């Protein structure tokens, strides 16, 4: 029974991992199910047994991206327990690493650009992910002392999204190269509660 389960789950995982890689590198529309099945060492029939359609596989891909990305908030907290300012600075560094290391940008944004149909099932995943991300970053900005935490979070996240698409348009030497400096300048000049300025968190 154990063995049978393993045999049944293995191709599914290979399909998901392969689809994530190909969609990320080449875009969703330019990768067909044939190419995914072949690269995953399986066939189209098996792929369709696990995923009713390419759209289902796209949804699974974005769910995986969302779950992986969700982990960052726990890591920031674990890295700097009880120190939200250090966590926010660490967020900037981590975000910059993503911008620099990966010229293909944010999977969620790219998917939103490609999947123009507002009824596409993936759009719900994208929207939920971005809302959750906004909630986490706003909470962190608030804990770090920002008076208008949502405005700071929105500014930083638009800068990050802009940096990631700019990196795709004009490469790593363009405006995205200064993401850290821009973010740090904005964080430093943003109005914050006085106790935080003196390094004494009051929340």
> Contact residues for a second copy (CB under 8 A)?
25-27, 29-30, 104-105, 108-110, 112-114, 116, 126-127, 130-131, 134, 151, 153-155, 157-163, 165-166, 168-171, 174-176, 178-179, 181-182, 185-186, 189
Cβ 65 to a second copy, closest distance in Å?
13
Cβ 132 to a second copy, closest distance in Å?
11
Q: Which is nearer to a second copy, 175 or 201 (CB)?
A: 175
Q: Which is nearer to a second copy, 86 or 109 (CB)?
A: 109
Cβ 98 to a second copy, closest distance in Å?
14
User: What is the residue whose two structure tokens read 């920002």?
Assistant: 146
What is the three-class DSSP state of 159?
A: helix
Burial pattern 161-199, b for ≥16 Cβ within 10 A else e, equals eebbbbbbeeeeeeebbebbebbeeebeebebbeebeee
Cβ 158 to a second copy, closest distance in Å?
3
d(CA 156, CA 31): 32
Cβ 168 to a second copy, closest distance in Å?
5
Identify whether the C-beta of residue 98 lies closer than 8 Å to the C-beta of residue 72. Answer: no
Q: Which is nearer to a second copy, 10 or 178 (CB)?
A: 178
**Relative orientation angle of helices 107-114 and 122-143, to the nearest 10 degrees:** 140
Which residues make Cβ contacts (< 8 Å) with residue 78, sequence separation at least 6?
none
Q: Which is nearer to a second copy, 41 or 174 (CB)?
A: 174
Which residues make Cβ contacts (< 8 Å) with residue 17, sequence separation at least 6?
40
Q: Which is nearer to a second copy, 87 or 138 (CB)?
A: 138
């Amino acid at each position: 029974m154990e063995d049978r389960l393993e045999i049944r789950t293995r191709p599914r995982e290979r399909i998901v991992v392969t689809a994530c890689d190909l969609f990320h590198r080449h875009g969703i529309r330019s990768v067909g199910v044939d190419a995914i099945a072949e690269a995953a060492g399986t066939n189209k029939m098996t792929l369709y047994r696990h995923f009713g359609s390419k759209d289902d596989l796209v949804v699974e891909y974005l769910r995986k991206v969302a779950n992986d990305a969700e982990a960052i908030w726990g890591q920031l907290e674990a890295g700097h327990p009880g120190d939200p300012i250090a966590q926010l600075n660490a967020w900037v560094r981590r975000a910059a690493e993503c911008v620099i290391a990966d010229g293909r940008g944010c999977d969620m944004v790219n998917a939103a650009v490609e999947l123009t149909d507002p009824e596409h099932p993936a759009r719900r995943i994208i929207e939920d992910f971005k809302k959750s991300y906004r909630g986490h970053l706003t909470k962190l900005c608030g804990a770090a002392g920002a008076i208008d935490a949502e405005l700071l979070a929105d500014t930083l996240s638009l800068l990050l999204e802009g940096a990631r698409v700019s990196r795709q348009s004009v490469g790593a030497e363009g405006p995205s190269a200064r993401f850290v400096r821009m973010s740090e300048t904005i964080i430093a000049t943003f109005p914050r509660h006085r106790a935080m300025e003196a390094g004494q968190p009051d929340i």
